[in-house]
Amino acid sequence: MESESIVYGCIRDWPSTDSEQRRLRRVTNRRELNALPAGEAWPFLGREMFSFCEHAGEGLYQTQVIHFGASYRAVEYEWSLWVEQFEALLKRLYWGSAVVHLETELNGTHTFRWESEKGFHSPQEEGLRVRCAWEREGGLRG
């Protein structure tokens, strides 16, 4: 049996007192996630792996949290391609921070964090200016 990797995490919007601004950000984020490939068409990121609460009071207070997860066959060997696709998605979304956990059978658990330099990222911005840090936990599993 081949090595399995588990990837999961969340993308957090930032809170705002302007309800119309929050609504427009959520509509944009929903549109971009729905535009991801579905079914067998996605190599790393696909529509089915993302989820979020739609309505206030049902898991959505002020900050939209987009959660995601998937299992892969040894994705750590193609991790730079996965990150490239994830960052391309982040460029198209409204967000304040993102965290990705990568659990591997041979190399332990790694945590990657993206934080926008200004505290928020808008799709209208040129490029992606983030501070990305990664942490490693554990080693070989017994």
Question: What integer pLDDT is reported at residue 129 of this predicted model?
Answer: 63
Q: Does residue 121 belong to any structural domain of this protein?
A: yes
8 A C-beta contact, residue 37 and residue 46:
yes
Q: Is the pTM of this model over 0.95?
A: no
Question: What integer pLDDT is reported at residue 132 of this predicted model?
Answer: 58
Question: What integer pLDDT is reported at residue 82 of this predicted model?
Answer: 95
Is 142 a residue whose pLDDT tops 60?
no
Q: How many domains does the chain have?
A: 1
Q: Does residue 142 belong to any structural domain of this protein?
A: no
Question: What integer pLDDT is reported at residue 91 of this predicted model?
Answer: 92
List pLDDT tens digits, range 78-133. 999 999 999 999 999 999 999 999 999 888 888 998 888 788 889 987 766 656 56
Full domain range(s) for residue 48: 4-137
Residue 49, helix vs strand vs coil: helix
Q: Does residue 129 belong to any structural domain of this protein?
A: yes
Distance CA 98, CA 113 (A): 6
